[in-house]
Each structure stands twice: as structure tokens, then as C-alpha cells.
Copies of this chain bind each other. A is one copy, B any other.
Amino acid sequence: MDLNELKAIQLAELFSALSDASRVRLISLLIEDEMSVSKLAARLKMTESAVSHQLRGLRQLHLVRARRSGRQVFYSIDDDHVSRLFTLGLDHVRHG
């Protein structure tokens, strides 16, 4: 299974999305339910700016999706694989 460079880069990008503790917690919240930027910021104890920057990267990878309602923007998971990767990873951490 010697990957070509393109696929290796794409895979690395996907896993990079989960390679930071803040993003991991952010995604764990979104797996439960959609959530606005400000609520995410409050739950994660991060500034809204920092959260927004992270969400931007995740959006570009099509891992989360945005929905505006009034002045709030609600984010949710945009890809089933993410939740499955997350669960599998958690498995490893728990009894690995």
C-alpha cells in the first residue's frame, strides 16, 4: 500500500484536522449537536476569534458546515467519516 504523494498529503490534511486538542474538543462538541460560534467559544474557553479561525480551516476541508440564523452562525459536522475517526481514536486512547 505505497500511497502516491497526493493521497498521502490529503490523508495527512485530514488527520491534521484532529491533531490539536482545541480542535478535538471543538469537534467532540459538534458531534453531539450543532452549535454557534459564541457557545463553542464559551464551552472551550477560547476567544470567538480563535474558534472562528479554527472553524475556517475545518470548513475548507469540508469537515464542518455553517448555517446562519440571524446574527448567529451554527456549525455542524459535515462528514460522517469524522465522527467515525473520532470514535475509533477514542477507542485507542481508552484501551489502547
Query: Could you list which residues of chain A lie within 8 angstroms of chain B, going by C-beta atoms?
Result: 1-3, 5, 7-12, 14-25, 28-29, 31-32, 43, 62, 79, 81, 84-86, 88-93, 96
Contact = CB atoms under 8 A, between A and B. Distances in A.
24 contacts: A1-B28, A1-B32, A2-B29, A2-B32, A3-B24, A5-B25, A8-B24, A8-B28, A11-B18, A11-B89, A11-B90, A11-B93, A14-B92, A15-B18, A15-B19, A16-B19, A81-B88, A81-B89, A81-B91, A81-B92, A84-B88, A85-B85, A85-B92, A88-B88
Contacts of A81: 88-89, 91-92, 96
Contacts of A31: 1
